[in-house]
Every structure is written in C-alpha cells, then in structure tokens.
C-alpha cells in the first residue's frame, strides 16, 4: 500500500495506520493475522483428519516411539523454538534501530530454520527406509527396532496422515526460510529503520505461527 500512495490524490490519507475509524493495527499486520487464521483452518483440516482416523482405527497407529525418532524430533522442536527466540531478538534489535543485530539474528533464524527442515528430511529418509511410507499399498513399516521380514508396525493410515501433516508443516517452514532470506537481503540494503520495520514484524508473526503449529503437531503426533 505504501508504495502505491504517492500516485493517489495527495490530500488523502498517506499511511493506512493513521486512518480512522479502524483498529490500531496497520493494514499489513491485520492482513497477516487474517492469513494466519486461514492457515489455522487449513492445519485443522489435516490434524482433524489425523485425530478422527486415529480414533476410528487405532490399530493403524502405534506408540510414537515405535516408528518415529522421538528424541531427534524433540531436539528439532527445541531447535525450532530457539529460532523463534532469535526472531524475537531480531525484531527487538530493529525496534532499537540496531541494524547489525537485526541482520545477525535474522541470519541465525534462517540457519536454524534451514537445519530444522534438513533434520526433518533426514528423518523422512530413515522412515522411508524402514518402510514407513505415505502410499497405502506400499506401507510396510518395520519400526525403529524392527527387522527385515518382521511384523509391520501400524497401518497405512499412519503413513498417510503423518506425511501430510509434517510435510505441509515442513513446506511452510521452507517458505518461511525463503521469506526470511528476502527480509535479510532487504535488511542488508538498509530497508528497515527504527520507525518502519513492518516487514520484520510480519515475517516474525508468520514464523512464530509456524513454530506454534509445530509444537501442537509434535505433541499430537510424537508424544501422544
């Protein structure tokens, strides 16, 4: 919006944040909250499916530890939470006008986020190797301690639901990392100032959301 306004009639509002009536949340932030609300509904449809299928067919599912690498993913969760902390620090930095801090903490967030995706990719590889796949017909999960030719742990619904939930979450993290990179580049171009750093706040909101979704996912899928 702000890049658009100079072309408009000069005596009209310049910055949406000074518009009244309205709530004291500038347009982009309100827009981001609304978008995140829609994302809640999207993940609800996926998680809701998991919950329903799990109650309907408990035999398809197993003790999380039997198939999934809970310790590794627990560490990954902690890691992601750390990236939320670094994000907060990045935002706090630019709120004080600390450009260097902003860039450093953004970089930290990006690296942790990328590692999170990497670790998850590694976990996926191991799971697939053990036969834990999303294709119903090809599901033959042997579990972490299972042996070749051994009994199958769980059933196809486990694979289908696991990959769709964690996969879409991973996709959202990856998109977040890409957007964070854009924000970092703009930060390096000096785009953000003490008085206007909305882009940082917006990506921060998205990043915290992605983290929150993961905490819920991790609890439901890996702990229960």
Partner 1 sequence: MATTVATAGDHVAGAEHHELGFIRTYIFSTDHKMIAKQFLVASLVFLLLGGLLAGVVRWQLGFPGQPIPLIGSLFSDTTAPGGIILPEFYNSLVTMHATFMIFFAIMPLMLGVWGNYLIPLQIGAPDMAFPRLNTFSFWISIPAGLIMLAGFFVEGGHAGAGWTSYAPLSADPAFSGVYMGQILWLVSLTIVGFSSLSGAVNYITTVINMRAPGMTWFRIPLPTWALFVTSWLVLLAIPILTGGLIMLLLDQTIGTGFFAPATDGEPLLWQHIFWYFGHPEVYILILPGMGLASEVLANRSRKPVFGYHSMVVAIISIAFLGWVVWGHHMFQSGMNPLLGTSFMISTIIIAVPSAIKVFNWLGTLWRGNIHLDVPMLHALAFVSMFIIGGLSGIFMASAPVDIPIHDTYFIVAHIHYVLFGGSLFSIFAGITYWFPKMFGRMFGSKLGKVHFWITFVSYNLVFFPMHTMGLKGHIRRIYDPNQYTFLESMQPLNTLITVAAFVLISAQFIFAFNFFWSMFRGNKAVSNPWNSNTLEWALAPTPPPHGNFVGTPRVYRGPYEYSSPESIDDFLPQHLPPDRVQRPPVPRDPGFLPTGD
In 10 A of CB 160, how many CB atoms?
Answer: 19
Q: How far is CA 167 from CA 3, 16, 172, 217, in A?
A: 35, 37, 9, 11
Options 69, 84, 86, 160; binder of partner 1; rule CB under 8 A: 160
Give the binding range for partner 1 (CB under 8 A) out of 17-25, 116-124, 174-182, 190-198.
Answer: 17-25
147 belongs to the binding site for partner 1 (CB under 8 A): no
- In whole angstroms, how large is the CA radius of gyration of the chain? 21
Nearest to 90 by CA among 207, 8, 2, 6: 207
Specify the 3-state DSSP secondary structure of 127.
Answer: helix
Quickly tell me which residue has 């100032």 as its tokens.
193
Comparing CB distances to partner 1, the nearer of 15 and 191 is: 15
Q: Which two tokens stand for residue 12?
A: 């009209």
182 belongs to the binding site for partner 1 (CB under 8 A): no
Comparing CB distances to partner 1, the nearer of 93 and 210 is: 210
1 belongs to the binding site for partner 1 (CB under 8 A): yes
Strand boundaries in the chain, DSSP class E:
none
CB of 41 to partner 1, least distance (A): 4
159 belongs to the binding site for partner 1 (CB under 8 A): yes
Binding site for partner 1 (CB under 8 A): 1, 4, 6-13, 16, 19-23, 25-28, 30-31, 34-35, 37-39, 41-46, 48-49, 52-53, 56-57, 60, 134-139, 155-157, 159-161, 163-164, 168
């Amino acid at each position: 919006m702000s890049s658009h306004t100079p072309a408009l009639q000069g005596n009209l509002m310049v910055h949406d944040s000074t518009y009244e009536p309205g709530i004291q949340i500038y347009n982009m932030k309100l827009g981001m909250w609304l978008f995140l609300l829609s994302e809640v509904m999207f993940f609800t449809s996926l998680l809701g499916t998991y919950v329903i299928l799990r109650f309907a067919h408990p035999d398809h599912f197993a003790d999380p530890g039997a198939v999934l690498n809970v310790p590794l993913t627990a560490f990954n969760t902690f890691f992601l939470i750390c990236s939320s902390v670094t994000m907060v620090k990045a935002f706090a930095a630019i709120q004080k006008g600390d450009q260097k801090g902003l860039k450093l903490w953004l970089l930290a967030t990006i690296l942790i986020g990328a590692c999170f995706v990497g670790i998850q990719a590694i976990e996926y590889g191991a799971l697939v190797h053990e036969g834990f796949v999303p294709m119903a017909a090809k599901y033959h999960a042997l579990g972490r301690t299972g042996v070749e030719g051994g009994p199958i742990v769980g059933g196809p619904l486990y694979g289908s639901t696991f990959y769709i939930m964690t996969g879409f979450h991973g996709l959202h993290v990856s998109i977040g990392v890409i957007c964070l990179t854009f924000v970092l580049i703009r930060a390096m171009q000096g785009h953000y100032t003490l008085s206007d750093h909305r882009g940082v706040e917006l990506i921060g909101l998205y990043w915290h959301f992605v983290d929150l979704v993961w905490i819920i996912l991790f609890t439901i899928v890996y702990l229960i």
